[in-house]
């Protein structure tokens, strides 16, 4: 550990006076061999929509300590920020310009703010991780300040005790006495998946920071098996892919991905934008279009690719190559129908042409495709008794595409009708529909 710290300090002293760059969390975690694989790299943090986000510059030395939680909160919430890493050589001069002569500080549109706790709560609010309810906020603060006490103990030993033998002795006391004292209380405060139930808050991210960057950084072999609820929170924060789906507040090409993620119980930010907001967002998008899906800070487009990714994440995409081929064959047949619906409803302006296209679609295209798909149902669903990607797509196409043509009925296709009903009966799908498709 001492050798690793020495190497760290040497690397810091070799840095330029002030390095301003997007923060690469992977590298920060790698300093102490901490894995946080699903968070974005420096180049992946996306710029905010100018009208809705201030320009943020976070300044601290290149250590975890009192700066890491703010960085984690910004990254976890997908909030763009500049990370100004101040070298030890320039630290005295930099601190002389800070409000309280200390770091970290946060520059918000040119105004500098200090105090790590205040910055953390601000970051949590921007990231949607600070409770709105006053009592829940009080409880989250209580937990967070308890964790801050653990950090204070760690910092006292790590940075203020210089004698190696004394430091080892105090770190042993930290692991044997301090950690159990606080963690035994915190274990009893977990209400479900997280401290506040099923919704993550900044207190959960704070716990991750303390466990990874203080407790296990100083005592990598210390077992926390006595605190299974706390370990579960750390694992959940570590593995959360931080997914955001952006589309209009309507069904269209974004709904299939939303349905798949919901079906699989995958948490995601459902970012529903107005047409005015789309105008500001469009120049920042890969192809200037929505829907998009942001994964770990990187934005991807193309609805079919998004849907397949969502299906894989949700466990709804076949692992067997032949089964996947069959699924895609069914899926692309439904995309053919969906594309015609878009052409008729939104791209064809001449009413006479629209009427002719509608007649051909209803009387020829739909029956032809549905007859083939009817023959492909192998049980409750296309692939047997387990719901999959293509089944959810059929539900979406029938309910949100073909439904706009009242002439289309499914009396001649009872197996397809059953698939649609079975998808709708899925508890997660039903909950999503109740909330969003009223």
H, E, C per residue of 210-263: HHHHHHHHHCCCCCCCCCHHHHHHHHHHHHCCCEEEEEECCCHHHHHHHHHHHH
For 321-436, the fitting CATH number among 1.20.1050.10, 3.30.830.10, 1.10.540.10, 3.40.50.1390 is 1.20.1050.10
For the ranges 14-23, 50-59, 209-218, the lowest mean pLDDT is seen at 14-23
Which of 22-26, 64-68, 124-128, 347-351 has the highest mean predicted lDDT (pLDDT)? 347-351
Question: In the prediction, which pLDDT does 53 show?
Answer: 56
Angle at 210 between CA 299 and CA 8, to 5 degrees: 80
What does CATH list as the number for 134-239?
1.20.1050.10
What does CATH list as the number for 56-127?
3.40.30.10
Q: What is the pLDDT of residues 167-176, one digit of tens each?
A: 999 999 999 9
Report the C-alpha gap between 373 and 367 in whole angstroms.
10
Residue ranges, CATH 3.40.30.10, the chain: 56-127, 243-314
Taking 60 as the threshold, does the pLDDT of residue 194 lie above it?
A: yes
Residue ranges, CATH 1.20.1050.10, the chain: 134-239, 321-436
The pTM for the full model equals 0.53
Mean pLDDT of 309-313: 91
Q: What is the pLDDT of residues 380-396, one digit of tens each?
A: 999 999 999 999 999 99
Question: In the prediction, which pLDDT does 31 show?
Answer: 38
> If you classify domain 243-314 with CATH, what class do you get?
alpha beta
| Closest C-alpha to 234, from 184, 200, 197, 188 | 200
């Amino acid at each position: 550990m001492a050798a690793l710290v020495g190497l760290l300090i040497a690397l810091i002293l070799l840095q330029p006076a002030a390095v301003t760059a997007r923060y690469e969390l992977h590298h920060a975690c790698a300093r102490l061999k901490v894995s946080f694989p699903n968070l974005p790299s420096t180049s992946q943090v996306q710029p905010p929509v100018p009208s809705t986000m201030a320009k943020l510059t976070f300044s601290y030395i290149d250590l975890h300590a009192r700066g890491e939680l703010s960085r984690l909160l910004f990254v976890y919430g997908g909030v763009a920020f500049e990370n100004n890493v101040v070298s030890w050589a320039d630290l005295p001069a930099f601190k002389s310009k800070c409000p309280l002569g200390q770091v970290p500080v946060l520059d918000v549109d040119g105004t500098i703010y200090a105090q790590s706790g205040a910055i953390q709560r601000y970051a949590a609010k921007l990231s949607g991780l600070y409770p709105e309810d006053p009592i829940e906020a009080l409880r989250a603060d209580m937990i967070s300040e308890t964790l801050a006490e653990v950090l204070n103990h760690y910092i006292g030993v790590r940075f203020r005790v210089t004698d190696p033998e004394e430091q080892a002795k105090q770190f042993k006391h930290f692991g044997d006495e301090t950690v159990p004292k606080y963690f035994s209380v915190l274990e009893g405060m977990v209400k479900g998946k997280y401290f506040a139930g099923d919704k993550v808050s900044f207190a959960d991210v704070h716990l991750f920071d303390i466990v990874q960057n203080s407790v296990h950084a100083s005592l990598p072999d210390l077992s926390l098996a006595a605190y299974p609820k706390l370990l579960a929170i750390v694992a959940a924060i570590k593995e959360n892919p931080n997914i955001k789906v952006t589309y209009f507040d309507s069904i269209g090409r974004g709904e299939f991905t939303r349905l798949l993620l919901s079906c699989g119980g995958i948490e995601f930010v459902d970012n529903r934008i107005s047409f005015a907001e789309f105008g500001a967002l469009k120049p920042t998008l890969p192809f200037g279009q929505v829907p998009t899906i942001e994964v770990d800070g990187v934005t991807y487009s193309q609805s079919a690719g998004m849907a397949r990714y969502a299906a894989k994440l949700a466990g709804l995409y076949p692992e067997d190559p032949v089964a996947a081929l069959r699924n895609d064959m069914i899926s692309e047949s439904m995309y053919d129908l969906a594309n015609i619906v878009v052409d008729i409803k939104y791209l064809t302006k001449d009413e006479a042409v629209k009427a002719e296209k509608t007649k051909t679609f209803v009387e020829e295209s739909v029956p032809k495709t549905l007859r083939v798909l009817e023959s492909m149902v192998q049980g409750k669903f296309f692939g047997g008794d387990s719901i999959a990607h293509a089944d959810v797509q059929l539900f979406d196409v029938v309910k949100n595409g073909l439904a706009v043509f009242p002439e289309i009925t499914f009396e001649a296709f009872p197996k397809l009708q059953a698939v649609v009903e079975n998808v709708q009966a899925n508890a997660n799908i039903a909950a999503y529909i109740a909330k969003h498709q009223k």
